[in-house]
Structure 1
Amino acid sequence: MWLRLLATNKAWLLGWGLLLLVLVVPRVGASNLELILEPENSAVRTNVEAYLGEVANRNTREMRRYARFARGEIEKALEALGYYNYQMELTVEEGDPARLRVVVETGEPVMLGYVSIGLVGEALQQPEFTLPSTAQLRRGQPLNHSHYESAKRHFRNQALTYGYFSSGFTVQELLIDPEVDIADITLHFDSGPRYRLGPVSFDHEGKLDEAFLQRFVRFVPGMPYSTQQLAELSRELRESGYFREVLVDADPDEVDEDLHVPVEVLVRARKPRTLNLGLGFSTDIGPRASAGWVQHWVNPRGLRRGVDTQVSEPQQSISGWYEFPLDPPMTDKLRISSSVENEYFNIQRSRRYGAAIQWFYRHSNNWERVLSLRGEREEFRVGEDDGATWLTLPGIGYGYFQGDRRVDPTRGYRLQIDVEGSRQDYFSDVDILQVTFLARGLTTLWDHHRFLARFRAGGTATNEFNRVPASLRFFAGGDQSVRGYGYQELAPEGSDGRLIGGRYLATAGLEYQYAFAERWRWAFFVDAGDAVLEPEDLQEPKVGVGTGIRWVSPVGPLRLDIAQGLDDDLGGWRIHFTLGPEI
């Protein structure tokens, strides 16, 4: 007890000592400079302080020497904003440290008179090549050297972006007459001819074929030069998963007589194999372990293969896959996979053996389409239904994600729609058509206020619901569904009172989060939804409300919620714990 009290007193005394130190010790530069502007002008003050920087402690002799330097910097700061007819007085007040007092009468700024900004050359025919903004560079505006320099940079940057490497200014003049407070600007830019993209060569280690690497190149020799094309090539090579290092270089000094700029790409392959191990926990399925092994290239044509497995108390799965890059490999790929999955929860049981072929295609607008064909045998027991089915399921899915960050975005949304079905006439035991839809969105206002919304819906058409396997029936409730209810607790019941799953599903959730610290957020939410046999039963959804706390870990938000289900029969207080992305 006494040791604890002594430690507390020491911490208290240390805190007061640090506070006194902050209050007593003078701040460097805080009282070493007095700047008086007549008239007061915040833009001028900011610019002068930026040029001078922090004024350190100096004795009288050193401060007088510094005053000569300060005069030159203040002149630069004033003239940069168009003030040429100023009066300035610098006085050093003796002491240790000494103090510098500066009084400036700014006078009137120089105004713009004649302004001529023009473009000639091939770029004149290119709509993307724009002239600098003239909002701050027109007659009657005060002279600001930064606006003039910005206009010059605008021309130069666009010339580099679009490949006008022999461009230049035919006239670049800034004529200032301080006596009449007038400045004239003339900027005439000649773009010259536009260079072209030349052939692409790869400097690689031979792990992948040159022909395969060339399939990443979207442009052909002779196309107009654009840094965007080169940036896209670099990005897609980096995101391909084959390389640890990518460097794309186009040197205009190596141009040929037809103005073709050769493109050289250096790539270095990543390690050929990776093994990822993971541990997790959620209140839906408890602790879980996962492992994934990937061989990033099996042959020089970029074939991949891998194995994934996940184990928890109610669910176990293992799958293996081969992935074939198509042309172009950054948007098209074909995957062949097989899997075994087992799920046992309460008295529901499902064991699946399946194989699938999927064609992934990413559109130019970043929508991803998946065409699939899968065959699956499932042995199941759900309520009174106990059996086994074989299904051959062709399907199509579209997905889209947009967010400012992957791990913890501040705004963004995700959309996903999937359709698949089977016919008894085509290698299946039952007719099924199922459609599912998912939407999640997030926005942040004023840095601290986050608003999340999610919606999930699905429907199944079938001629024999009792033969529909458990994996294609709908259940609601749990961490990712309707909080305040148990995992897969919301579903229709059979005649014996056991859950049989639904043909239709609709769940929705709204959540508000307040960020009260850098990595901590407080949350309030309401969820609603149900799984039913008839669509009209969705008019009375089950509702849950609650609150929780979020901690933003390096791999995504960790969520701890306490929720109350408001249904008289199934409701009650529940704790939910999850880790992962919010959209």
Structure 2
Amino acid sequence: LLTVTIKGIRDELAYQNAYNTTSLNFIDPDEMDNELRLRWLFNQGKEEILTSLEPFGYYKAKVSSSLAYQGGKWVAIYNVTPGEAIPLTKVNINLSGAGNDNWLLKRIAERTEIKEGDALQHEAYEETKSKLLENALERGYFDAEYTQHEIIVDLDRYRSSVNLNLDTGERYRIRDVKFTTDYFDEEFLHRFAQFKQISPRIDPRAYSDSKMERIQSYLNSTTYFDAVVVSRTVDHDTHEVDLEYDLKRRKQRTFMGGVGYSTDIGAKIMGAMNWHYINKYGHMLSTDLLLAQKKRDGEIRYTVPGKEPWRDFYHFYTKYAFEDTSNKDYTTFVIGAALERKRFQYTYGYALDYQHDRFRSLNGDKQRVNLIIPSIYGEWRTLSTLRFDRAGFKVDGMLRGSMFLGDVDFIQARLRGIYHLPINDRNRLILRGEIGHTFIKSEDLEKLPPSLRFYAGGDNSVRGYKYDGIGEYGYNGDVVGGKKLMVLSTELEHKLSDDFAVAGFVDAGDAFNHGKPNLKFGAGAGIRWYSPIGSVRFDIAHGFNKEFGETYRLHLTISADF
């Protein structure tokens, strides 16, 4: 048996290096009985420890040692006095070649971890050396090499210096971008490979790994491809690079369907078809359909990618909506167009709609209204998962109106948001809110279609009240909504397992025409099932406002895709 002890080294990394370098720690068990071999390795250990300390700046370390056979085993002890780490008195890091004014390379050289006055650290030197060269290669300086790279140690004056000189050579340019495809138009695909002049000092076609990967990311972000594989060919004679993207297009069409039930609108059937590309220019077509007992919605949308086809889109659409509930009786037809842009976590757009409504007015008369409605809308989203340990939010807003362009003049704004706040691994707080305001003359209010009025109440609004059951009253006691809206909700969820959770909540809201909101409160508890085919929410809630129904209500939302 053998024990090896190394004492006196306080630097943990230096200690680990000394331990791993000492051969005696790794002697073959078959050699334990060979005392001559054992003592040779023991003596060798002194030099190994001294050498292992040099990368950490300890060039004047001293080691005393002892080896004895005690209690049936060998005991080796090394007592180390590291001494003072050698100081770094001079650091010379220079760039030459075309990259001598590259801002990133200059920043790496200036912010290096090897600094004058610090102790010499070989690891920091190697990291700086590697980082500088790697970043040069990533930015297209494929001929970059060190013309000087050295550590100078002066033991007599006990000081050290570092010299690094990187000659970057020329920066390579992107000569050509090729796409391997059996379908899409070449000119359309080249819109994903745009090289914009950001600065007059920087060639827009200067190569960098990030440019190559950015084009790949743009292609992957579309609905066109299942896989995008990129390769490059470097021409050292001309200092140019060719990029090639191998595109595997996805299935052209996907169909989705589902059945469900909601206490608000009853049993429902949902269907959708997405035509991810209908021609070689990347145009898209989608249809959505909802058939419920009390509500029917449909939409056909044709999308044309814009100049930057991964984030700019032109939408042309037609929509149909029908609802026949105790509070609403209307049919709406919309035809319109929109320009939509996506920027990181943001989406915003501009739309222009023609809308035709047939509905029962506030006084019970049947009306027809034609409107031209321009609008702007936007969304900011960080919420991308239902995981309990992830915080995130989604905020969306809309401003629309019809001034001198239809049968009713109005301006309407709406803002809503939801925030998931994890408390711990099993609990989270969900905060939800919505506000809206319609600017309209009082005498025109009865001409405002139900599709443009605000309502509160129901599964996704104020639970404890029926669907759209909160608002102003009409001619026969029906709720007809309002021109203003406020909804607030606080919910606490507790996870029982990966698929199940329980929740307690308090909701409040009102849809009203004048003054301040008279909030109607509801509270309750529920069960959540996050199933592989959809989500199920079952809530029992009590509304506390007698006028709009002081009672218990069940709120059940089921969606199942197949």
SS of the aligned residue for 2:192 comes to coil
Q: 1:161 to 1:188 in 2, by over 3 A?
A: same
Report Cα offsets for 1:47-90 as digits up to 9, x if no partner: 679999xx99x994388999979979988975554456364979
User: Does residue 1:479 correspond to 2:498, yes or no?
Assistant: no
Q: 1:108 to 1:201 in 2, by over 3 A?
A: same
SS of the aligned residue for 2:30 comes to helix
Pairwise mapping of residues 314-325 of structure 1 onto structure 2 (< 5 A)? 314-325=294-305
Q: 1:578 to 1:109 in 2, by over 3 A?
A: farther
Question: Unaligned regions of 5+ residues in structure 2, if any?
Answer: 197-202
2:185 to 205, 209, 225: 209
Task: Report the equivalent of 2:200.
Answer: none
Compute the displacement of 1:431 (Å): 2.9
Task: Report the equivalent of 1:21.
Answer: none
1:186 to 156, 163, 173: 163
Whole-Å separation in 2 of the counterparts to 1:497 and 1:235: 56
SS of the aligned residue for 2:516 comes to helix
Matched positions, count = 538
Compute the displacement of 1:301 (Å): 1.8
User: Does residue 1:160 correspond to 2:137, yes or no?
Assistant: yes
1:120 to 96, 101, 126: 96
Q: 1:145 to 1:552 in 2, by over 3 A?
A: farther
Compute the displacement of 1:530 (Å): 1.0
Task: Report the equivalent of 2:224.
Answer: 242
Bigger CA drift: 214-223 or 235-244? 214-223
Whole-Å separation in 2 of the counterparts to 1:564 and 1:77: 73
Assess if the C-alpha contact under 8 Å between 1:350 and 1:381 holds in 2.
yes
Assess if the C-alpha contact under 8 Å between 2:352 and 2:372 holds in 1.
yes
Bigger CA drift: 169-178 or 261-270? 169-178
Task: Report the equivalent of 2:434.
Answer: 456
Task: Report the equivalent of 2:375.
Answer: 396
Whole-Å separation in 2 of the counterparts to 1:51 and 1:344: 82
Whole-Å separation in 1 of the counterparts to 2:383 and 2:243: 31
Assess if the C-alpha contact under 8 Å between 2:462 and 2:508 holds in 1.
yes
Assess if the C-alpha contact under 8 Å between 2:138 and 2:209 holds in 1.
yes
Q: 1:172 to 1:373 in 2, by over 3 A?
A: same
Q: 1:226 to 1:60 in 2, by over 3 A?
A: closer
Letter in 1 for 2:432: R
2:254 to 271, 274, 277: 274
Assess if the C-alpha contact under 8 Å between 1:399 and 1:417 holds in 2.
yes
Task: Report the equivalent of 1:374.
Answer: 353
Query: Percent identity over the alignment?
Result: 26
Compute the displacement of 1:504 (Å): 0.6
Task: Report the equivalent of 2:401.
Answer: 421
TM-score, normalisation: structure 2: 0.79
Report Cα offsets for 1:530-579 as digits up to 9, x if no partner: 11011x132x3223445556666668876555555444554555555558
Whole-Å separation in 1 of the counterparts to 2:154 and 2:501: 59
Assess if the C-alpha contact under 8 Å between 1:377 and 1:388 holds in 2.
no
Q: 1:311 to 1:181 in 2, by over 3 A?
A: farther
Task: Report the equivalent of 1:263.
Answer: 243
Q: 1:294 to 1:62 in 2, by over 3 A?
A: farther
Assess if the C-alpha contact under 8 Å between 2:6 and 2:19 holds in 1.
no
Pairwise mapping of residues 181-580 of structure 1 onto structure 2 (< 5 A)? 182-205=159-182, 207-219=183-195, 223-251=205-233, 253-254=234-235, 257=238, 259-280=239-260, 282-285=262-265, 288-362=268-342, 367-381=346-360, 384-403=363-382, 405=384, 408=387, 410-422=390-402, 426=405, 428-444=406-422, 450-462=428-440, 463-511=443-491, 525-534=505-514, 536-538=515-517, 540-546=518-524, 563-567=541-545, 569=547, 570-574=549-553, 576=555
Whole-Å separation in 2 of the counterparts to 1:564 and 1:50: 69
Compute the displacement of 1:508 (Å): 2.6
Assess if the C-alpha contact under 8 Å between 1:243 and 1:268 holds in 2.
yes
Report Cα offsets for 1:282-329 as digits up to 9, x if no partner: 554455442221222222222222322123333222322322223232
Assess if the C-alpha contact under 8 Å between 1:306 and 1:320 holds in 2.
yes
SS of the aligned residue for 1:147 comes to helix
Whole-Å separation in 2 of the counterparts to 1:276 and 1:88: 77
Compute the displacement of 1:513 (Å): 5.4
1:111 to 86, 94, 97: 86
2:8 to 38, 46, 49: 38
TM-score, normalisation: structure 1: 0.77
Assess if the C-alpha contact under 8 Å between 2:231 and 2:244 holds in 1.
yes
Whole-Å separation in 1 of the counterparts to 2:495 and 2:178: 50
Whole-Å separation in 1 of the counterparts to 2:251 and 2:448: 44
Letter in 2 for 1:331: R
Assess if the C-alpha contact under 8 Å between 1:387 and 1:467 holds in 2.
no
Whole-Å separation in 2 of the counterparts to 1:514 and 1:546: 14
Assess if the C-alpha contact under 8 Å between 2:379 and 2:395 holds in 1.
yes
Q: 1:197 to 1:467 in 2, by over 3 A?
A: same
Q: 1:497 to 1:181 in 2, by over 3 A?
A: farther
Whole-Å separation in 1 of the counterparts to 2:5 and 2:495: 40
Whole-Å separation in 1 of the counterparts to 2:99 and 2:348: 38
SS of the aligned residue for 1:490 comes to coil
SS of the aligned residue for 1:155 comes to helix
Letter in 1 for 2:366: G
